[in-house]
Structure 1
Amino acid sequence: MRSALTWGYLVLAVLGAILPWQANLEFMQAAAGPGFDLPGFIQDANLTAASRSLSRDLLVAASAFTIWIGVEGRRMQVRGWWVTLIVCVTVSFACGGPLFLHLRERRLQELEAAEESS
């Protein structure tokens, strides 16, 4: 069961990298000029009540989860926990969040195996 959960989180991390970036690339192609128009992106994210709701929901949830990643990563001594914070900022929160859960599950498996062998 735990192995399936570990791999499930990894699949979600991959999807969390691909799906948001498909939309980001569409946005960049539609925007005038090269690069990523951050002010335009923020403006579009606040265009309608529905988009404001989703943006604010993501902001609050990502903020809380980011704090938890830092606390839980150190507490459980999850290897590479800090990398997930970088991934959250540079790739997407939808990638970094599940990636941390994947690493955490692997750590829980290590702890269970150590406990069983002692």
Structure 2
Amino acid sequence: MSDETTSPGQPTTPLLSWLYLTLAIAGAILPWLANWEFIQTYGASFNLGLFVQLANANAAAQSLSRDLLIGASAVTIWMVAEARRLQMRGLPWVLLGCVTIAFAFGAPLFLYLRERRLQEIARNG
């Protein structure tokens, strides 16, 4: 499989853009369904301290939390560098979405916007 999305000006697949957008939508809905259940179970507001405590309640939860923290940190650094390299618009909204909605929303949204930017670069030569 060739890597069509690494260099500006290379052709990209419109289907890939839509796949990323679909993942962004799922990444917004599915984590917030769990967040809603957390709010329903533990109180009328989102208690961040309790959320973090429960996210580290056992070894399995700690593993997932630490995995997400390290992976999301690395990908966020790459997103900032890549957005600058490609002169992308919308990065502040993506980062805000990562923090306020879910990283599972923000990362695929970034990839969607990146694919659109690569398509724009390919069209404009």
TM-score range, shorter chain: over 0.9
CA shift for structure 1 position 30: 0.3
Residue 95 of structure 1 corresponds to 105
Q: Does 1:15 align with 2:26?
A: yes
Match of 2:88 in 1: 78
- Count of residue pairs the alignment pairs up: 114
Give 1:60 deviation, angstroms.
Answer: 0.3
Question: What do the CA deviations read for 1:48-92 (whole angstroms, capped 9, x no partner)?
Answer: 111100000000011111111111111101111221001000110
Could you tell me how far apart the structure 2 residues matched to 1:10 and 1:78 are? Answer: 17
What aligned pairs does 1:16-35 form with structure 2 within 5 A after superposition? 16-32=27-43, 34-35=44-45
Counterpart residue number, 1:54: 64
| Residue equivalent to 2:120 | 110
> How many angstroms does 1:43 deviate by?
1.0
Which one has a larger percent helix, Structure 1 or Structure 2?
A: 1
- After superposition, the CA RMSD in angstroms is 1.0
Unaligned regions of 5+ residues in structure 1, if any?
Answer: none
1:20 positional shift: 0.1
- Give the AA of the match of 1:102: Y
Identity of aligned residues (%): 55
Unaligned runs of 5+ in 2: 1-11
TM-score by length of 1: 0.93
Show CA shifts across 1:17-68 (max 9, x none): 0000000000010003x21111111111011111100000000011111111
Q: Is the 8 A contact 1:70 1:82 kept in 2?
A: no
- C-alpha separation between the residues in 2 aligned to 1:114 and 1:38? 46
Normalised by the length of structure 2, the TM-score is 0.88
